[in-house]
Structure 1
Amino acid sequence: CPRVKEIHQKAQELEKKGYQVVIVGDKNHQETKGILGNIKEGIVLGKENDLKKIKLKKRIAVLSQSTQDIEKVAKITSLLLKNCEELFFVNTICVANRLRQKEVEKLAKKCKAVLVVGSRKSANTKRLYEKSIRLNKNTFWISKPKIKKERFSKFTSIGIIGGASTPYDDLEKIYKILKK
């Protein structure tokens, strides 16, 4: 993704300007590792509690893994703001992912069940699932387009959403199974 390359460049640029680079993300995710690999010193925060384990400098720059949840990034950034003199924030969450996150919230509130379709290894699919399950306990993570219609027959409305790399054909197959 060209956007990820931009995040790498921005992290380098901000570090050169004297900022301590803080990345909100999953420390074991390839994208986060890639950002860290392009700067001399960087800190990854995966959750609010991680703040207790780090020493912040006076000037920090906050970026995030492109698939992060915007609410999580906002919470961590507001906590960081209380602990530094200067904070430079760059919204590096992918626009398509932000739109999907908003859409899954609507589906979770509107539908009796939500099927989040995508790989178990996909960070953005994971975010969609987490967002949906918080709002609707009848959220199911579907990794393959092979489902049993009977499992979902009790639900009068079902929302279907896919992660960024989920083939549209997979969503179509699931829709057709449910429509039978």
Structure 2
Amino acid sequence: MGARPIIEAAKNSKIVLISQAPGRIVHESGIAWNDQSGKKLREWLGVNENIFYKVDNFAVLPMGFCYPGKAKTGDLPPRKECAPLWHDVVWSEFKNVQLKIIIGSYAANYYLGKEQNLTEKVQDYKRFLPEFWTLPHPSPVNRFWRMKNPWFEEGVVPKLQDKIAEILK
């Protein structure tokens, strides 16, 4: 579908969402998290679109900046060259980051290593605080993970919402 990098950031962004790569709908609209995954993510964060799309609140830093294409289930993995090439450059510009939210296994493995699987990282979120908070990907494809792990939305999401509210007050 061609290159259409999706990144949203400001020097004063308080929370950085480190995610996989934009999906087809986001690629077409050019607006990060403008799909069902974004709707679920905003629900988990406890914010509305107005708060979410203020770049001083949330920056979007995907592992791959462009839509990688379709796989058998979901999308292809993010392109491997994007994060090593661009993340350090982007991080050097931030001046006010208070929390980095890791979304999905690609970002979690890149930033937190591969010693634990994603579920373990999500369960063990306190281990990575105050810098990182790990989440599963909010994609509808991940609904089975959420059904198998009700503790996440019952116990972790309310604590995440409290942390987000504290940062954005």
TM-score by length of 2: 0.30
The higher-RCO structure (CA 8 Å, 6+ apart) is 2
Answer 1 or 2: which has greater strand percent.
Answer: 1
TM-score by length of 1: 0.29
